[in-house]
Amino acid sequence: MISSSGIEVTLNNAGLWKKFNSPMEMILTRKIGRKMFPNLEYSVDGLNPTAMYEVYLHMERMDELKYRYVSNEWDDYARGDPITPIQKIKHKSGGQTGMFWMDGPISFEQVRLTNNPETDKKDHICLQSMHKWRPVVTIRKLENGDKNSAFDEEFRMENVWFMAVTMYQNQAIKYLKVENNKFASGFRETGNHKTKTVLPTRGIKRTASETFPTPPSSTSPSSKNNGNSPIAHNFPNPENFNFSLMGTANQYWMNPYQNMWNYGYNVGQPMVQPVTSQWNVQNMVQSKNMSHEQQGNPNNNIVPEFNGLNNF
């Protein structure tokens, strides 16, 4: 379309719009709005390359009628709702030179359509469903960069209009949109969905030897013990454990996390101090507060000092 001032505005994707030979339908959603498909992408020519311009988009009610879809066609059956104030959406590029606007397509793909009259979200346009609407492009020339002395020109495409709906009435329109919208693959029978790899939810069962590995040969017990490491007991259950007996002399327990005997933890089964050997010499430290006669005596009443543990 060419204005009297010589500015020309054309719809870049007019061929896609022409595929919908029936009235186009655009979905309105209340909460988050719905993007238009096909979207609105324009080209402009005839601007002053050095002058400053802003570009706007709004929707215009085409008549005062309300429609319904009956017997596979649209019928104007009632008087339309009161016309609402115009909401102009300024292009996100803001004020730019004429050369900028003529250099590439002007897309309004960010615009969303809603039927919520209370919305205050940016780039949302509120429309009434079951009414006809036409997109209108406004080019505003800023005289000397001053918005107050701007000059507006509006452009309407003759065959570019749609019916606002909350659900598709003509199923042929829906199928055409699914086939032509690259973001609607999930609605196609041959949608290209990637198969998700299902990861196992259970761990790998390990043997006792893997859980409590045999110590290295340098710390292994002597041949008198037939080369077997100490038996790994389960960790005491805190709910059934008598903590009052902690610290009783000559009580030992098997630490399953260090694979070694610890002193001073009663597990309900008293165990006398084992005979000193290469194994327990490496894993227990002789107490400094016990005499030689008291060490190894099961009847002594001196609790040895805990001097730490040797780690493998």
- Specify the CATH number for 8-181; select among 3.40.50.720, 2.60.40.820, 3.30.470.20, 3.30.750.24: 2.60.40.820
pLDDT for the residue 8: 95
Numbered ranges of CATH 2.60.40.820 in the chain: 8-181
Distance, in Å, from the CA atom of 25 to the CA atom of 132, rounded to the nearest integer, reads: 9
pLDDT for the residue 242: 55
**Other C-beta atoms within 10 Å of 239: how many?**
5
pLDDT for the residue 2: 78
Contact indicator for 250, 256 with CB cutoff of 8 Å: no
Residue type, 15: G
pLDDT for the residue 239: 55
Strand partners, 260: 255
Give just the sign of the alpha carbon dihedral 295, 299, 303, 307. Answer: positive
* Beta strand pairing call for 52-61 and 132-143: antiparallel
Pick out the chain residues at pLDDT < 50: 186-187, 193-201, 217-225, 227-233, 235, 241, 243, 245, 247-253, 257-271, 279, 281-283, 285-287, 306, 308-312
pLDDT for the residue 294: 55
Distance, in Å, from the CA atom of 259 to the CA atom of 34, rounded to the nearest integer, reads: 63
157: closest CA among 303, 14, 307? Answer: 14
Helix, strand, coil % over all residues of the chain, rounded to 5: 15, 30, 60
Distance, in Å, from the CA atom of 124 to the CA atom of 112, rounded to the nearest integer, reads: 5
pLDDT per residue as tens digits for the range 218-245 = 444 444 445 444 444 454 555 554 545 4
Terminal CA-CA length for the chain: 85
Radius of gyration from C-alpha coordinates of the chain: 42
Tokens 């030179």 appear where?
97
Contacts of 72 (CB under 8 A, 6+ apart): 170
Distance, in Å, from the CA atom of 143 to the CA atom of 271, rounded to the nearest integer, reads: 99
pLDDT for the residue 20: 85
pLDDT for the residue 147: 62
Distance, in Å, from the CA atom of 173 to the CA atom of 41, rounded to the nearest integer, reads: 20
Contact indicator for 90, 56 with CB cutoff of 8 Å: yes
pLDDT for the residue 75: 95
Distance, in Å, from the CA atom of 251 to the CA atom of 201, rounded to the nearest integer, reads: 40
Provide the whole-model pTM. 0.59
Q: Indicate the Cα dihedral angle 141, 146, 148, 152, nearest 10°.
A: 0
